[in-house]
Chains A and B, each alone.
Chain A
């Protein structure tokens, strides 16, 4: 095969035994790779109702067909898939860097990890040699420290490592998996699944050649995309980066502030992308094969956190800044570094800290409950203390590390309402009360509250629709975006490069053809996008989720935006949500309960999964 390595590796952590199987070519074309292939493999290798921390819950690591080539941004991504300990639904997270390209050169499209090692181990993949090595000396280390230690141990500084930190070891439900120190497979708590298997890290070295099926045409396409990468489509990411959103969202009053108590932050100027770039950004670096470069490396030049260095993006800046009412960039940067140090999803960690602050201000958690922390909104010290406690699972941090939904349930006394999540996953930096296309996208997202499954906020933020209106037609808009986003994460290319695919699916189909040599039309690709979203839905149905879970955070539906301005009073009513969901399900060919209809599964070639929807076709 071209593009694909053609091999899937199975590792049994109980016994240390491994075996390989051939990649099913039908799956390759149908599910592409990345999250698509990963989710299908997870489904095939798991039983309904499996506990996320059970050894029987497979952790799948999957690459796309483009990985390892020099196509801009496409060479470098990898996806983790498993049942999420946060949402108890399908969990997946994508990261970029160089890890994915290295794994492709080692000769694998996917790795399926099952079982649980008796002792802490790390997986060392050296082309066809697979070993589980002792990791007892790595326990407690941060992902970055682990990476350095493994490179030292194995004596090769070009080995690529993806590792968990203390949070993953301690089964924190917001634990992530970090490669190359700053790149995280962040969302849905998959670092804890890795921790539950006693697997500290995956180290890989690959020495094989990667060759596209149609080399000359492929290189012409690379050349053209190099030019596009330097153009307007990526300008935002190359200049201010995603933190540009701070002032954009704030002006539109769609930046959730102080745990959704406001939609506008008075201190936004102090934490803007402009301020970050002026005072803190030291260098913008790139992933393997990328011709754009977006990774804003920041360094704190002075003050108590002097020398702190990390990567910074909008979502994490928002979560630890405006969402906690904090207007100090040095604190936010320190907070981000702590999240990376312990290996926590920095979005979730910030949202949970803000939740704790809200509980404190409402008297639900006292200073005593919080181990002495005066957790008012805007208290920088409190944020950092809460993050430390979450990372170590000390005191109140032990509860908070359970994720905002479970923490809300455990704390009780109305804390559940202050827990802003969908399907258990913490919200991100878009105020859904005044972005109603985004609200639908978030509600139906198979991994819970997240902007990265659809990007539907773009219609609202760019003024392409009336963002305060819930109306028919939004369903199809969300659905089309979901299909494209699923393909992006399955190829795997970088979402920041999406604007360079001028002809969208036609460009992507061409890329697929040139790399793999497999015929692919834009129409077939569209169907693959639909199939990937459908397989995720089928998994969630198998795991007991349904329409009731396609909902919105409590405050989005019950607390109108209080701020004077363009969207005062906005919220999403149950009627509006119902209308949006009906419209979306209809556009997908699903029942009103959100179950894919049998004829839809037949139409997109998924009859092998009909058993999941059997008996659920009424309504």
Chain B
């Protein structure tokens, strides 16, 4: 089974993400040799001008998408945590889409089967991370995210106590 320190996924820093969609373009280009956000495995959300964030698969523990699939078309790689889609079994019913809390699994507009981020396993590294001009995207584990949050919280605390002195 994949260990907690190895379950990597692409995460966007909302402070840095500006909603430019370059991740969408490079994803669809990498996967399908076409510019088309509908074929991207990462999608940008702009709630308003100040709130931008790209969202893609989090590679959850006990992924609800896998559990939801009535045709056993989805499986999770024990080695990496990647959600794998059996194109022959998937009929595009969309239960996995409904089950995903992040909207990170999507229906391909032409093949009508679902697609999901695989960290560009054929390219060696996720192209969205490589291309993001803001360095807003990074490959992380939940543990790294927690570490980062802890570090910035402690830094802030010390900064504040310094200022008070």
Residues of A within 8 A of B (CB): 68-70, 75, 98, 105, 158, 181-182, 207-211, 215, 219, 226, 229-230, 282-293, 295, 297, 299, 309, 311
Q: How distant is A208 from chain B, measured CB to nearest CB, in Å?
A: 7
A309 to B51, CA, bound (A): 12
Which of B26, B35, B50 is the one whose CB lies under 8 Å from A299?
A: B50
Query: Quick check: A209 and B18 within 8 Å, CB to CB?
Result: no
Most buried by B among A230, A290, A309: A290
Query: Quick check: A297 and B35 within 8 Å, CB to CB?
Result: no
Query: Quick check: A70 and B18 within 8 Å, CB to CB?
Result: no
B67 in the interface (beta carbon within 8 A): no
* A-B CB contacts (within 8 Å), total count: 74
Which of B21, B36, B49, B52 is the one whose CB lies under 8 Å from A210?
A: B36
Which of A209, A219, A282, A291 is the one whose CB lies under 8 Å from B34?
A: A209
Query: Quick check: A309 and B35 within 8 Å, CB to CB?
Result: no
Query: Quick check: B49 and A211 within 8 Å, CB to CB?
Result: no
Residues of B within 8 A of A291 (CB): 20, 22, 133
Q: How distant is B148 from chain A, measured CB to nearest CB, in Å?
A: 20
Q: Interface extent on B, as a size class? A: 20 to 34
Residues of B within 8 A of A (CB): 18-22, 25-26, 29, 32-39, 48-50, 52, 109, 131, 133-134
Which of B37, B50, B131 is the one whose CB lies under 8 Å from A283?
A: B50
Taking A289-B25, A292-B133 as known contacts, 20 extra A-B pairs with beta carbons closer than 8 A to each other, sorted by chain A number, are A68-B35, A70-B26, A70-B35, A75-B25, A75-B35, A98-B21, A105-B36, A181-B48, A209-B39, A226-B131, A229-B133, A283-B50, A285-B19, A285-B20, A286-B18, A286-B19, A289-B21, A291-B22, A299-B50, A311-B49
Assuming A211-B33, A230-B133, A291-B133, is B20 touching A297 (CB within 8 A)?
A: no
Main secondary structure of the interface of A (DSSP, over half): loop
Residues of B within 8 A of A69 (CB): 35
Assuming A209-B32, A209-B35, A226-B133, is B49 touching A70 (CB within 8 A)?
A: no
Q: How distant is B44 from chain A, measured CB to nearest CB, in Å?
A: 9
Residues of B within 8 A of A105 (CB): 36
A105 to B20, CA, bound (A): 17
Q: How distant is B45 from chain A, measured CB to nearest CB, in Å?
A: 8
A286 to B23, CA, bound (A): 13
Residues of B within 8 A of A295 (CB): 49
Query: Quick check: A285 and B18 within 8 Å, CB to CB?
Result: yes
A477 to B109, CA, bound (A): 50
A70 to B40, CA, bound (A): 13
Assuming A288-B21, A291-B22, A309-B49, is B133 touching A209 (CB within 8 A)?
A: no
